[in-house]
Amino acid sequence: MGSAAAQNPRVGTLRRIRLALSALGLVLLAGTVGYVILGFSWLDALYQTVTTVTTVGFREVHPLSAAGKLFTIALILLGVGTALYTLGVLLEALIEGHLHHHLERRRMDREIGRMTSHVIICGWGRVGRACAQYLVATEQPFVVVDRDPGRLEGLPYPMVVGDVTDDDVLRAGGIVRARALIAALNTDADNVYVTLSSRALRPDLVIIARARTETSKSKLLRAGANRAVNPQLIGGRRMAAFALQPHVAEFLDVVMHDESLEFRMEEVAIARGSSVCGQTLREAELAERTGVLLLALRPSAVAPFAANPSPDSCLDENSILIAVGTPSQLTALHYVCGSRSSPAS
């Protein structure tokens, strides 16, 4: 197995830049100290060293003794070679774009460091791309993590290149501040490993894992995933639904994914301290106050849904409402239920 520099040319180039600059700094320091020993002031010594190393050819600041001439010869032989090597490494980095990539990587790291309540997409394949398209449409922040730099080349989204099964890579993606993680890797084994690692780092994180087979869904759930999704199964069911009930299927597809539509479907949680907490639907008058259409009520995250809920249904803390409405109506519902601190402007 090759070295890290051999496996990643950018790492090797940055290493050579640091080495070259360090060598040039040592030469300048040694030259300055040497001329000070020969009787120069610190400023004159630094000036004499720089003009000697860069071969500018100005006259000596002070007349040189035999020892001074021998020292200058050694400084020229050592310093000029070091300066040329440093210049060559810097030019190589600029020409090949490694320096630009390093600066861009640092900028992206700072951007990810400022993100909160974002989604981490692990794996930039077909499933990962589909997830990103939906998050872009809903204006939700996310970070993409993939081990293949070729897949992420030119990607306009915040990203981390690395093995997502490594805890340090998950931390670089901001897992401590994320709201959810999507494990969309190619194999079930990798998705199980990522789920285990993510759950250990963030016990409260929402984890959605891709399952390639039905038998792996139970393993992913035991590993800590909140949901295990089989894209092939869901895709097959949607195709069958379009064949049998095309208008119903299209309506659900549009209301969930088409942001150009004036109404959409959302889930709204009843927050602790909400004014409607402990009231019935009749008492809360949510539909009258906000204009939304309430489709279902889920008393808790593990309870079954109650479709077309009765007006006598009680709204408790952490109850989930499924509603359809315009963005302004849904925003008002979020505000009434306490899931947002204030209405959107």
Let me know whether 126 and 39 are in one domain. Answer: no
Question: pLDDT class for 38, splitting at 50, 70, 90?
Answer: confident
Domain enclosing residue 63, as ranges: 4-96
What's the mean pLDDT in 303-313? 90
Of the ranges 61-65, 142-146, 149-153, 229-233, which is most confident? 142-146
pLDDT of residue 12: 62
What torsion do the CA atoms of 302, 308, 312, 318 make, to the nearest 10 degrees?
A: 30
SS (H, E, C) the chain: CCCHHHHCHHHHHHHHHHHHHHHHHHHHHHHHHHHHHCCCCHHHHHHHHHHHHCCCCCCCCCCCCHHHHHHHHHHHHHHHHHHHHHHHHHHHHHHHCHHHHHHHHHHHHHHHHHCCCCEEEECCCHHHHHHHHHHHHCCCCEEEEECCHHHHCCCCCCEEECCCCCHHHHHHCCCCCCCEEEECCCCHHHHHHHHHHHHHHCCCCEEEEECCCHHHHHHHHHHCCCEEECHHHHHHHHHHHHHHCHHHHHHHHHHHHCCCCCCEEEEEECCCCCCCCCCEHHHHCHHHHHCCEEEEEECCCCCCCEECCCCCCECCCCCEEEEEECHHHHHHHHHHHCCCCCCCC
For the chain, give the percent of residues with pLDDT over 90. 29
CATH of the domain at 131: 3.40.50.720
What's the mean pLDDT in 216-242? 89
Separation of alpha carbons 122 and 183, rounded Å: 5
CATH of the domain at 325: 3.30.70.1450
Does any domain span residue 223?
A: yes
Does any domain span residue 106?
A: no
pLDDT digits (tens, 9 = 90+) for 325-335: 888 898 899 99
Question: pLDDT class for 294, splitting at 50, 70, 90?
Answer: very high
Does any domain span residue 105?
A: no
Let me know whether 218 and 268 are in one domain. Answer: no
Tell which wins on pLDDT, 236 or 181: 181
CATH of the domain at 59: 1.10.287.70
Let me know whether 79 and 170 are in one domain. Answer: no
pLDDT of residue 247: 85
> Is a pLDDT exceeding 80 seen at residue 314?
yes
Does any domain span residue 205?
A: yes
Query: Residue written as tokens 């790291």?
Result: 109
Let me know whether 80 and 19 are in one domain. Answer: yes
Among candidate residues 187, 211, 229, the one where a domain is terminated: 229
pLDDT of residue 258: 63
pLDDT digits (tens, 9 = 90+) for 125-168: 999 999 998 888 878 899 999 988 888 887 888 989 888 888 99
Let me know whether 123 and 207 are in one domain. Answer: yes
Let me know whether 73 and 154 are in one domain. Answer: no
Q: Phi, psi (5° rounding) for residue 145?
A: -125, 125
pLDDT of residue 177: 92
Separation of alpha carbons 179 and 198, rounded Å: 12
Does any domain span residue 244?
A: no
Let me know whether 48 and 82 are in one domain. Answer: yes
Does any domain span residue 306?
A: yes
Among candidate residues 180, 206, 229, the one where a domain is terminated: 229
Let me know whether 124 and 91 are in one domain. Answer: no
Question: pLDDT class for 57, splitting at 50, 70, 90?
Answer: low
The model's pTM: 0.61
Let me know whether 146 and 224 are in one domain. Answer: yes
What's the mean pLDDT in 317-326? 89
Question: pLDDT class for 176, splitting at 50, 70, 90?
Answer: very high
pLDDT digits (tens, 9 = 90+) for 19-29: 888 888 888 88
Question: pLDDT class for 228, splitting at 50, 70, 90?
Answer: very high
Does any domain span residue 170?
A: yes
Let me know whether 127 and 80 are in one domain. Answer: no
pLDDT of residue 198: 94
